[in-house]
Amino acid sequence: MGALVIRGIRNFNLENRAEREISKMKPSVAPRHPSTNSLLREQISLYPEVKGEIARKDEKLLSFLKDVYVDSKDPVSSLQVNVKAAETCQEPKEFRLPKDHHFDMINIKSIPKGKISIVEALTLLNNHKLFPETWTAEKIMQEYQLEQKDVNSLLKYFVTFEVEIFPPEDKKAIRSK
């Protein structure tokens, strides 16, 4: 639908706009350097037929130009061919079942290898925080079928949220009612 609107706007008053563009004054020739002006006058005075030859239109060449017909189509780029080939022949991904099915509110049937769900990420981060000796990066890598660099980055840059409530130490603290 948008193409029809755009085409209508583009073609609106097309003939009048083309006629106006054609009837505009043609750009004048750029001014010549004063040293070349004298040389040109000298050459034209020596060879007056050159001036007529410059202004004359060659009918034979114009007829050749009218016979030329160009029909072009955009070539298919190799990038497009590679993308189409990649789309048609995708390799089947390997999947694994999610660990710990006690979170049934999320309906995840399978997880691609090399990836983990949010629940699994929070579980492994919590396990590593509570028992770092048993839940090492190598064990997490084997358990969840992840790459070593991904596990190291996960343990380095992500932590689980923990809430600590400190009891008031002095009697002046405001008590909730």
Residue 161: name the closest of 121, 122, 132 by CA. 122
Higher pLDDT, 79 or 144: 144
pLDDT digits (tens, 9 = 90+) for 8-44: 778 888 888 888 888 888 888 888 888 888 888 888 8
Burial 5-39 (b: 16+ CB within 10 A, else e): eeeeeeeeeeeeeeeeeeeeeeeeeeeeeeeeeee
Angle between the 148-157 and 118-130 helix axes, to the nearest 10 degrees?
70
What pTM, to 2 d.p., does this model score?
0.39
